[in-house]
């Protein structure tokens, strides 16, 4: 693996954080499909789990700092 096959660290003047170049074979922007999906919930999700006797109350409950 040569050094050109890796991400590089770019210093950003006036910033405390550095910036990474895109990894080889990828783009700089995220894929729009990763942001939101219209897929149905999976079987392991909490929304599809059986509800207990206090679930509705817990869903309506608001913490005191709100």
What pLDDT does residue 13 have?
92
pTM exceeding 0.75: no
Please say if the pLDDT value at position 31 is more than 80: no
pLDDT at 45 over 70: no
Annotate 2-30 with DSSP letters as a single string. Answer: -GGGS--EEE-TT-SSEEEPPPTT--SSP
CA–CA distance, 61 with 66 (Å, rounded to integer): 11
Task: Note the pLDDT of residue 52.
Answer: 83
């Amino acid at each position: 693996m040569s050094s050109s096959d890796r991400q590089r660290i770019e210093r950003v003047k006036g910033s405390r954080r550095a910036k990474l170049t895109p990894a080889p074979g990828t783009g700089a922007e995220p894929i729009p499909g990763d942001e939101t999906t219209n897929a149905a919930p999976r079987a392991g999700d909490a929304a599809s789990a059986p509800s207990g006797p206090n679930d509705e109350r817990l869903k309506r409950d608001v913490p005191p700092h709100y």
